[in-house]
Amino acid sequence: MTLRERLREKISAAFYRHGLLCASYPVPIILFTSASILTCCYPLLRLPLPGTGPVEFTTGGRDYSVPSHEPQGDLGERPDWQVLVKAAVSPWDSSLVPVDVFRSPLSRAFSLLEEIRNHVHSDGSGVRSLESLCLQVTDLFPGLRRMQSVLPEHGCLLVSPGNYWQNQQELFDSDPDLLKTIQKHEPKGLSTSATLRDLLFGVPGKYTGVSHYNRKRVVTYTITIVLSTYDASLRSRLKQLHPSANCSLRDDHMVHVHFKEEIGIAELIPLVTTYIILFAYIYFSTRKIDMVKSKWGLALAAVVTVLSSLLMSVGLCTLFGLTPTLNGGEIFPYLVVVIGLENVLVLTKSVVSTPVDLEVKLRIAQGLSNESWSIMKNMATELCIILIGYFTLVPAIQEFCLFAVVGLVSDFFLQMFFFTTVLSIDIRRMELADLNRRLPAEAGLPPPKPGPLRPREAPPPPRPSPHTITLQTPAFRNLRLPKRLRVVYFLARTRLAQRIIMVGTVIWIGILVYTDPAGIRTYLAAQVSEQSPLGDPGGGALPPHLGGAPVFRGVDPTSTLSIHPAPDPTPLPDNHSQGHHDGAGRAGPLPQPPPPAVPQITWGPEDQEGWRRLSFRHWPSLFSYYNITLAKRYISILPVIPVTVSADLQTDLTLYKVAALGLAAGVLLVLLLFCLYRVLCPRNYGQNGVSHGRRRRGELPCDDYGYSPPVSEISPLLLRGHSMDIECLASDGMLLASCCLAGQIRVWDAQTGDCLTVIPRQGDGLSEEDGFPLRRRSAPSRPTLFTDQPDLTPLIDTNFASQPPSHLCTPPPSHLCTPPRDGFDFGGLRRPSGGDASASLTPERGSAAGTQATADWESSVWALELRGNLIAAGRSSGKLELWDAVEGSLRCVNEDGGSGITALAFLNNRIVAARLNGSLDFFTVEINKPLGLLQYRGAPGRGTMPPSPCYSSEDVISCQLTRSVQCAHQKPITVLRAAAGRVVTGSQDHTVRIYRLEDSVVHPKKTMVLASGGQDGAICLWDVLTGSRVSHVYGHRGDVTSLVCTTSCVISSGLDDLICIWDRSTGIKLYSIQQEAGCGASLGVISESLLVTGGQGCVSFWDLNFGDLLQTVYLGQSSDGQGVRQLLVLDNAAIICDFGSELSLVYVPSVLEKLD
Amino acid sequence: MPRLEDHCWSCSCASSVETKHSSGAHWLASKAEEMMSIITSVLSNAYGSLHDVRTANLIRRGLVLFTVGAFLALVLNLLQIQRNVTLFPEEVMTTLFSSAWWIPPCCGTGAAVVGLLYPCLDKHLGEPHKFKREWASVMRCIAVFVGINHASVKLDFDNNVQLSLTLAALSLGLWWTFDRSRSGFGLGITTAVLATVFTQLLVYNGVYQYTSPDFLYVRSWLPCIFFSGGVTVGNIGRQLAMGGVEKPHMD
């Protein structure tokens, strides 16, 4: 049991690692797999097509007779062809001008042709010319005009290399370049079956020796004559004319090849049925593939997997010498059924059912390892069954089992490599874009911790601040990039130049090999054919004569051939193979060490069976040129009559020189290209260093292509000045106010990043304070525990005013305006302690403040709001201060409340302040000034909010508490938002309250939607008018820390570092983005489709429509430690974020254009 | 050669019969089915007014099964005589389409009966069949069944015992792979026995002949074919029955 468990664990771990590997390097793996498939399928090229393979019979050669066990009827009706094969071999010596080498052997063909033509057959019935014996052919098949000049028409079918020259010696003699003439007729491109050259020479091209590089120094060709009646006299005469020396040929048997008939319909019906069943099986199987990006793509991949594993198995078996005797077409469906698609489906299902949020790699790995045990078990079972089948000792079953075993193994291989990789690609494609379809189900997950409802708000609204930015462009989808940059990135990303050069080099080398300067190919081919039992049935008898000078062994002079009794009266197919030897006995002594090896020509079995090396389509294609079908007919191949020709030869070494030179040139060229490439593309494309650096800096998970584009020129503007961490940010679009832990308020120009005002001025804080008119505060001061959360207001306002379904994003009741951000984030977790802390702090500070006139500066600013040129600052002491933003003077102080102000909101001329004790105060700002002076500035919140008044410095501004709601909430108010005449508060007491400030006209049909997020990870949508809950979804495992709304969706981020995008009207989760841990919770929406999130020292831009990461902008060099806690989006599409003691102002230029 | 003859039916009529070994089985089953159909028709009449939907469903399934059975009979018939095609093309075609006309209907009927019996039995035994209930598996089963038939015709065996044993193993493998239920096994055995007996009777009465009978009057592997045929048809029937149940759910 333990062993089993351990085994299981190991298997699962191995699969896990394998899944990671596959998902990490999809492209190389797919390439590798394709290469293996092709390699394994290569032997298939030599196989006959299923069902049409010719059948051979061998009979004794003395007499022509028809194989007895075949239906006689066929033969009787159709006299078959005789084929007379002549082989001419001419060895030559080392030195020759290559082209002329062939001249003399080839010229012998013409004399041979003459002999054959002039042969007169005489028997008892009289004298007959060859014409009466041979097969008369008529026109070529229409459409073969190209071959008209080469192939014979209207006469005997007599084929020889002489056909190239119309069988005329004169043409041959006057031909300056024989090879060129031969090559001229070669088809362009690859051809697998019989080419014209094969037909005419009668031996496969590489055996002819007619090429530039001939190491065997033997030229072989055949003259083929097709006879319709067997005639022994021609044969005997040729034998006499060309007594063969060195001949070991056995000429006593001839081979009859029977070509099967075409398959009839009746025979096809069962076959078709099995295929129909097979397709139904495949259909029903692949139909189960679900929840993937492209069902069709995966189904195709599955089918490809199975089919190629079959092909591979057949190919492999062929390679190892197992020829399939079963009818391939028939057993094929059964093989598919045995191999099955089950594993593939199980894999898909398992991977798909892994958590969507995981990274793709992990999903694949997990899915694989989940199913590893069952896959291995099934595989082992199947193998066992098949092995049992193997021992039935029935040849057919054994063969089937053999194929099935190899098929199973190769199928397993393909599943693991090919299909898994395809699946990973598919899942990756789906990951972001298509999640929406399946997410509703997930939305209902119960929250991990049912905590109090606690909404957080995201900072969407505009605020200015000054700063610096590094823009980094991720490779994914450069929507916002200029086109030319995109092109460059594309080139860089795909490493196009590199690949083109590589491909070019490979092709070039391939061409080199193909043209074969050194004869490697011939050598290899010879080796292979020598060793492969398939290649030549002549068997191992092939002597090792290939390497050096050809010394053929074999010494049976066969004279028996000539004695041929006249055959049966029936027209019989006769096969004469006449071998013609050209023995070039003497080699001219060379200038170099005279090679004593005199090439001798011998004839061995391999020559006799030379026709076997021809394509199996050789004969059918030859006859098909004349529109003659071989179906159900015989071809009898008569023994070869060897003829040897000797030739005088000279050597030339130039060949080898040329070859060496070519090789050297190739190497040089490659080196040159490589150098050129390095020079032109010095960049390391971020494969190593850059990508690591990038990862280190917190790259987002979906960027796993390892490519990092160059840093773009856009850099964030850093606004420096604060000495401590920035606590509060506020902006109205033109100005930006920030407050740091030290209590210093700075006002910045949101456009330029200049610091306009510092309150208090540094160094003279106290003296300044003395000058302030109102200095006494009764309330004690407190440390800045809370920041205001200004952001949402403008956005909310916008929505209310402009859209019928308007919406409030409110941070629901869970926190107080956040104390240091941590406190904010984790408020839900440790709310009580946070409360205690702040409470305990209060008294201390209070006492201190009471004694000092400058109590202001002692208490910290908890909330900051900016409207017009008024800064409202809520202090921990409970004081509300109004400052002039431009001049930096204190305009008004109200100390009515005793509890620290945790949140502030401007609403026209009112200020709403939420206090730590849960009370809500409404102040009215009154300006004692003629109305004329009341100016309005451009509205901050995207122009949708009523313009806020601008106060001039002369005005006397008073701030009066008009109303106070003492127990608005039982617990500290964490969030305050104002919009459309309403104020929404959220508190830790799990409630959201809405106060109506004014009687704004709300159209009855209008809806106002309020979104809130709680500590339990729930997000609620409320109808503000009725108070009813529209929807309630759970999206996060921890607290919801931020919420932003656009017109169509609600975006939330939580403590689980997940950003969820919800459809606003239906409450369905569209998709979610997993960020790195510690990315922070700040969110902002720049436009309808552009989302900004803060991360560790960077901000990221996302395309909301697709969920793609557009850019990541790094805020500074030393950005590692600091997270962005607050993020404001300004009108001008700038983003302000706090960054330690600095502020960063990031312009998003392309978005700017869009907004305009 | 001898094997070839082995496989030939002694007469043309026989060839048609042989072609459908399973057809013979179905034939037998079909006879039984006729009775069954009478019974079912009576029963359905009785319950008809109450269970219109069920009856319609039953008829639909029966029709589908009949079609499948008839089609398989035709095809496997061809498969069985395929070897002889080259030798006696004319004869084969004539026998196929004239004298053997009754084979497909018989097989179809048999298939319908067996296919309806399987889910029915499941229900009565209270063991709903849950193993691999999906169309892909059914298709695989059919393919294997055709493969077994194919093998019975085409494989070259030294002797009949070996052939029969191999086929028996294949049939058992089929049952184990796709069914694995006791009721399925029992019904398959019953079908095989009944069908074989019926075929014996037919041959005994001279309706057709086997060329080289080695098991009384028929071939010894015939029961295996019948058994696997029964399991296959039962598989289809169960799937159909389940599909009928599932569809309303889906809707």
CB contacts of B85 in chain A (<8 Å) are 264, 266-267
Of the ranges A170-179, A488-497, A513-522, A668-677, the best mean pLDDT one? A668-677
* Measured distance CA(B77)–CA(A446) in Å, rounded: 60
pLDDT score for A696: 39
Q: A1071 vs chain B: nearest CA distance in angstroms?
A: 27
- pLDDT higher than threshold 60 for residue A443: no
pLDDT of residue B31: 62
The answer to whether the CB atoms of B78 and A385 lie below 8 A apart is no
Peptide bond into A760 cis (omega under 30): yes
**DSSP letter string over B26-39?**
HHHHHHHHHHHHHH
Residue in B closest to A261 by C-alpha: B86
A284 interfaces chain B, CB cutoff of 8 Å: yes
A69 contacts in chain B (CB < 8 Å): 1
- Of A534-538, A1034-1038, B194-198, where does mean pLDDT reach its minimum? A534-538
pLDDT value for A819: 33
Q: Cα–Cα–Cα angle for A836, A839, A845, nearest 5°?
A: 140
**From first to last of its 251 residues, what are the pLDDT tens digits of chain B?**
333 333 333 333 333 333 344 444 555 556 666 666 676 666 556 555 555 677 888 888 899 999 989 888 887 777 766 554 333 344 455 555 555 677 788 888 989 999 988 888 888 887 777 777 788 888 888 888 888 888 777 776 677 787 888 888 888 888 888 888 888 889 899 999 999 898 888 888 877 767 667 777 777 888 888 999 999 999 888 888 876 544 333 33
- Nearest-CA distance from A351 to chain B in Å? 20
pLDDT in tens, A581-594: 333 332 333 233 33
| pLDDT, average across residues A541-556 | 32
> How many CA atoms within 13 Å lie on the side-chain side of A710?
12
> Is A449's pLDDT higher than 60?
no
DSSP letters, B4-17, are HHHHS-SSHHHHHH
State how far the Cα of A794 lies from the Cα of A943, in Å rounded to an integer.
9
Q: Which of residues 330-369 of A touch B (CB under 8 A)?
A: 330, 333-334, 337, 340-341, 345
Structure tokens, A1129: 């989006």
Q: Which residue of B has its CA nearest to A266?
A: B78
Please count the residue pairs, one from chain A and one from chain B, whose beta carbons lie less than 8 angstroms apart. Answer: 84
Question: Do A395 and B135 count as a contact with CB atoms less than 8 A apart?
Answer: no
Which range of A302-316, A502-516, A952-966 scores highest in mean pLDDT? It is: A302-316
Phi and psi angles of residue A461, each rounded to the nearest 5 degrees, phi first = -85, 170
Question: Which of A319, A731, A364 is closest to A532 using CA atoms?
Answer: A319
B89/A264 Cβ within 8 A: yes
Question: Which of the four pLDDT bands, split at 50, 70 and 90, describes residue A777?
Answer: very low
- In this structure, are residues B183 and B121 in contact, taking their beta carbons and an 8 Å threshold? yes
> What DSSP state is assigned to residue A931?
G
Contacts of A957 by beta carbon, 8 Å cutoff, 6+ apart = A870, A882, A891, A892, A925, A926, A927, A928, A951
Lowest mean pLDDT among A414-423, A512-521, A626-635: A512-521
Chain A positions touching B71 (Cβ under 8 A) are 273
The token pair that represents A795 in the structure block? 């956005």
- ipTM exceeding cut-off 0.90 for this assembly: no
| Prediction pTM value | 0.41
Q: Do B162 and A396 touch (CB under 8 A)?
A: no
CB atoms B139 and A281 under 8 Å: yes
What is the residue type of A145?
R
Instruction: Report the chain A residue with the minimal C-alpha distance to residue B76.
Output: A270
**pLDDT over threshold 80, residue A552:** no
Is there a contact between A284 and B82 if contact means CB atoms under 8 Å apart?
no
Cβ contact (<8 Å) for A397 and B86?
A: no
- Report residue A818: phi and psi, to 5°: -75, 130
CB contact under 8 A, B85 and A267: yes
- Asked whether the predicted pLDDT for residue A338 surpasses 70, the reply is yes
Specify whether the CB–CB gap between A795 and A1045 falls below 8 A: yes
Which of A332, A394, A398, A400 would best serve as a mutation to test chain B binding (most B beta carbons within 10 A)? A394
Q: What residue spans of A187-294 are helical by DSSP H?
A: 196-201, 205-208, 232-241, 265-286
- Beta-bridged to residue A1138, according to DSSP, are A1143
Report pLDDT for A840.
Answer: 33
Percent of chain A residues past pLDDT 90, beyond the cut: 0
pLDDT in tens, A1001-1016: 555 555 677 788 877 7
For residues A253 and A1050, the model is more confident at: A1050
Of A54-63, A391-400, A747-756, where does mean pLDDT reach its minimum?
Answer: A54-63
Question: Is residue B204 within 8 Å of residue B195, measured between CB atoms?
Answer: no
pLDDT of A1148 higher than 50: yes
Residues 6+ away with beta carbon under 8 Å from A409 = A313
* Lowest-pLDDT range of A236-240, A254-258, A760-764, A1129-1133: A760-764
Helix axes A420-433, A2-24, angle to 10 degrees: 70
Is the confidence at residue A631, as pLDDT, over 50?
yes
Q: Please tell me the least confidently modeled range out of A160-169, A649-658, A794-803, A1039-1048.
A: A794-803
The single-letter DSSP state of residue A1006 is -
User: Which tokens is B175 given?
Assistant: 């049952």
Which residues make Cβ contacts (< 8 Å) with residue A326, sequence separation at least 6?
A396, A399, A400
A327: its two tokens: 């009818």
Kindly give the interhelix angle for A328-339 and A265-286, rounded to the nearest 10 degrees: 20
Residue type, A302: A
Higher pLDDT, B230 or A906: B230
Q: Is A276's Cβ below 8 Å from some Cβ in B? A: no
Task: Tell me what pLDDT residue A956 has.
Answer: 67
- Cα–Cα distance, B143 to B137 (Å, whole number): 10
Cβ neighbours, 10 Å, residue A629: 12
Q: What's the burial of A33, exposed, middle or buried (CB within 10 Å: 0-12/13-18/19+)?
A: buried
How high is the pLDDT of residue A353? 80
Q: Is the pLDDT of residue A908 over 80?
A: no
Higher pLDDT, B126 or A20: A20
What the block records as the tokens of A573 is 């197919």
> Phi, psi at residue A976, to the nearest 5°?
-140, 125
User: Distance between CA atoms of A840 and A47, rounded to whole angstroms?
Assistant: 90
Are A284 and B135 in contact (CB < 8 Å)? yes
Looking at per-residue confidence, does A483 or A151 come out higher? A151
User: Beta strand A1040-1045 with A1049-1054: parallel, antiparallel or unpaired?
Assistant: antiparallel
Matching residue, tokens 């029992």? B186
The answer to whether A112 and A202 have CB atoms below 8 angstroms apart is no
Whether chain B has a CB inside 8 Å of the CB on A269: the answer is yes
pLDDT at A764 over 50: no
For residue range A836-890, list pLDDT tens digits in order.
333 333 333 333 333 333 445 667 777 788 777 778 888 777 777 877 777 777 7
Query: Using CB atoms, which residue from A69, A277, A330 is nearest to B143?
Result: A277
Alpha carbon A886 to its chain's center? 56
Cβ contact A274–B143 (<8 Å): yes
Best-predicted range by mean pLDDT (A681-685, A814-818, A904-908): A904-908
pLDDT of residue A513: 64
With beta carbons under 8 A apart, name residues in chain A contacting B92: 266
User: Taking residues A1097-1107, what's their average pLDDT?
Assistant: 75
CB-count burial class (<10 Å; 0-12, 13-18, 19+) for A70: middle
Contacts of A459 (CB under 8 A, 6+ apart): A729, A789, A790, A791, A792, A1042, A1044, A1082, A1083, A1084, A1126, A1127, A1128, A1129
- For chain B, say whether A262 makes contact (Cβ under 8 Å): no
The Cα A706–Cα A703 span in angstroms is 7
Task: Please give the Cα distance from A396 to A94 (Å, whole number).
Answer: 52
Residue A1082 and residue A1088: Cα distance in Å, rounded?
17
- Can you give the pLDDT at residue A547? 32
Report chain B residues whose CB lies below 8 A from the CB of A330: 150, 154
A772 touching chain B per CB within 8 A: no
pLDDT at residue A205, as a whole number: 64
Pair B241, B115: CB distance under 8 Å: no
Distance CA A987, CA A221 (A): 99
Residues 6+ apart with CB under 8 A from A184: none
- CB contact residues (below 8 A), chain B span 139-158, against chain A: 139-140, 142-144, 146-147, 150-151, 154-158
Concatenate the DSSP letters of all residues of A648-679 into one string: ---B-SHHHHHHHHHHHHHHHHHHHHHHHHHH
Residue of A nearest to B93 (CA): A266
Amino acid of residue B246: E
Interface contact A288, partner B, CB < 8 A: yes
Structure tokens at A93: 């010596």
Task: Compute how many other C-beta atoms are within 10 angstroms of the C-beta atom of residue A589.
Answer: 12
Return the pLDDT at A326. 56
Most confident of A84-88, A624-628, B84-88: A624-628
Q: Does pLDDT of A633 surpass 70?
A: no
Contacts of B155 in chain A (CB under 8 A): 394, 396-397
pLDDT band at A603 (very low <50, low <70, confident <90, very high): low
Nearest C-alpha neighbor of A1022 from the set A1033, A1037, A1034, A1032: A1032
CA–CA separation, A283 and B136 (whole Å): 8
In terms of average pLDDT, the best of A215-224, A459-468, A815-824 is A215-224
